[in-house]
């Protein structure tokens, strides 16, 4: 028996409407940086709270909580800066829930640092 030759179908690109709007590389990079820095701020904030609550008399956990809070503040401020850049560069805005969640995550370490500075004895 003769082998049937298979004809390969050419892969056609999707029409523009099915692909969705395309963003520039700068907009994509700003969006990824914004969300990664917001995630880093949330993780550092959570680690700082856990270390602060479980510190007891341990000096090491006290310093760990302080360093994680500092990292959360830096990441949170970076997240807020990248949010403004991403919103300016993107042609399609991210969902409002994502925007507000990252704003809360970016501002929370600043509030916690201010409250801890206010209530801690000098």
Handedness of CA 92, 107, 32, 12 (dihedral sign): negative
Cα distance between residue 51 and residue 44, in whole Å: 10
The candidate with the shortest Cα–Cα distance to 35, out of 92, 95, 114, 91, is: 95
**pTM to 2 decimals?**
0.78
14 in a structural domain: no
38 in a structural domain: yes
**What percentage of residues in the chain have a pLDDT greater than 90?**
65
Specify the pLDDT at position 12.
75
Residue with tokens 């959360």: 72
Which residue range forms the structural domain that includes residue 110? Answer: 24-119
50 in a structural domain: yes
Among 3-7, 14-18, 79-83, which stretch is predicted with the lowest mean pLDDT? 14-18
Instruction: Write down the mean pLDDT value for the chain.
Output: 88
Residue 72 or 57, more confident: 72
Cα distance between residue 120 and residue 91, in whole Å: 45
- Indicate whether 17 pLDDT > 60: no
How does pLDDT run across 99-114, given as a tens digit for each residue? Answer: 999 999 999 999 999 9
Cα distance between residue 85 and residue 31, in whole Å: 8
33 in a structural domain: yes
104 in a structural domain: yes
53 in a structural domain: yes
28 in a structural domain: yes
How does pLDDT run across 44-70, given as a tens digit for each residue? Answer: 999 999 998 997 788 999 999 999 999
Buried b vs exposed e over 71-106: b needs ≥16 C-beta within 10 Å? Answer: bbbebbbbbbebbebbeebbeeeeeeeeeeebeebb
* Structural domains in the chain (count): 1
Contact 23, 72 (CB under 8 A): no
Residue with tokens 């209530």: 119
């Amino acid at each position: 028996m003769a082998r049937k030759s298979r004809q390969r179908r050419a892969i056609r690109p999707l029409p523009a409407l099915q692909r969705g709007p395309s963003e520039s590389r700068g907009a994509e990079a700003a969006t990824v940086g914004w969300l990664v820095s917001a995630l880093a701020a949330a993780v550092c904030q959570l680690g700082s709270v856990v270390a602060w609550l479980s510190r007891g008399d341990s000096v090491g956990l006290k310093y760990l909580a302080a360093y994680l809070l500092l990292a959360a503040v830096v990441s949170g401020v970076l997240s807020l800066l990248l949010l403004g850049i991403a919103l300016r560069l993107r042609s399609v805005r991210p969902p409002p829930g994502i925007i507000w969640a990252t704003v809360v995550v970016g501002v929370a370490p600043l509030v916690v640092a201010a409250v801890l500075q206010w209530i801690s004895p000098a």
